[in-house]
Structure 1
Amino acid sequence: MTSTTLTMARRNPSLVIGCVLVAIVVGMAVVSFFWTPYPPTQMAMMSRLQGPSLSHVMGTDQFGRDVLSQIMVGAQNALMVAVLAVLIGAVIGSALGLAAAAVRGWLEELFMRICDFAYAFPAVLLAIVISALVGVGATPTILAIAIFTIPVFGRLARGAAIEVWSRAFVAAARTNGRGAFHISLRHIVPNIGGLLIVQVSTQIALAIIVEAGLSYLGIGLQPPAISWGKMLADAQTNMSLSPTLAIFPGLMIALAVLGFNLLGDGVRDVLDPRLRRSR
């Protein structure tokens, strides 16, 4: 990364704020692998529904479990599901989009119509249908999110790749006898990589919402796995007694989603040469 790009990154408020918020969520997730204030599943009925205090910074839930410990482990599970699902969808979708741009013809049209069909359903609804078909738990949740992520990256990669295929250096490579596979790896992928990275950040934000929604409905992560969405569902019955049970996981979902969206916007502003010239 050049010094000019680094300077732009430091001056980009979206990128800075996004990095800070994502760092907070990632930091909580990483720390939870080694330490939490209390065992996240440890029950203490004598301490149930306590408000925030020095001993329990975010209070305790209806079973006396420490909310902060659950929030930290919930960050770990949310990121694990979202990142894995989006990476799977990005790799498969981008490969299909690159192939469609290279081959063209009826295969490209078939691929685009499949993508259009997938886009006809909201992401959460499609994930619910897939989860209902393949089951509940972490693996089915990752699979469900990955499946609706594939057409997103497929359309994006295909559209961006077609534009690059029309450039002079690609025509020169074809004249020199380079095949479509070599051109895609050597010329197309480096030129659309930044665009795909930005989309990865945006899709992770969406994946966090979908995972929380599935867990809230009871068809996502299952106990003893901890999910922010499941924490929100459990908090409903005790809202009048302890509203913070819903506030903290809801706030974490909002911060994580906002962070990844701002991070994607910031990276796009830094990497997009057209935006760079306009400034």
Structure 2
Amino acid sequence: MQRIILLGAELREARESSGLSTSDSTKRLGWYAGKLSKVEQGDKSVTDRELAKAIDVFGIAPERADALKELAAEARRRLPPARVPEWATKYVNLVAAATELKLFFPDSFPGTVQTFDYARAILRSAVIVAPADVDRMAEERSKRAERLMNSETTRLWLVIGEEALHREIGGKAVLRGQLEQMRSLAETPDTTVQIIPFDGGAHACHGTAFTIITLLEGKPSIVYTEGLTGSDYLGREHVRVYNLAYDNLRAVALSPQKTLEAIERRIGELT
């Protein structure tokens, strides 16, 4: 998934450098309307013939063209399926490939860092998850969280509303277990966890959870937002705005040390 996103970003950059609009490029490529946008967004792979045509239309230099051909071949390799809704599969793969993640969740801990019991409690309440799938999906979430906690390649920023420390999802024992995992996560060198306190006043993102995903430094990031039945992957100007909002969130949140102290206090209250 990382490679198909990178290929799309490279082709978009080449198209823009050539001065061609999306509609003009689509005509020259002989593609159907909307296909180029899907390719540039990383939602669709290209064949060798299609890539060769794009290289010609955009005037891509031979050395760069060779790198794109290799990237395209790797992008077409199929990944093992994740047990998530179809519209969330791309997100799971992007998170696995990310070098940096910035997450904001106002009232709960995100699936990216959930324990098995916490995930199961949330999935049990979901209206789109079949009861037979709950335990297997919770297990996958907990394994992904464990991989992220042990990752040496992903920088994680996590801003959470204080409500997450108090909403007893799954009961006191389950919440305590989740908080203990958050304490461990907050103590790892490549992770920063911050809590926005109840008395912190207004901030830029009330009611809006989102994730900013960076695959490679210097390459375009992607903003992921999710609803009950679908999700959006936003780029370009959206990324600038969400990064600005994230900076605002971190400014009004407790410091990482104060956050760790708040987590410790809450664990003590639940013991």
Fold conserved between structures, TM > 0.5: no
TM-score of Structure 1 vs Structure 2, range by shorter chain: under 0.3
* Structure with the higher fraction of residues in helix conformation: 1
TM-score (norm 2): 0.24
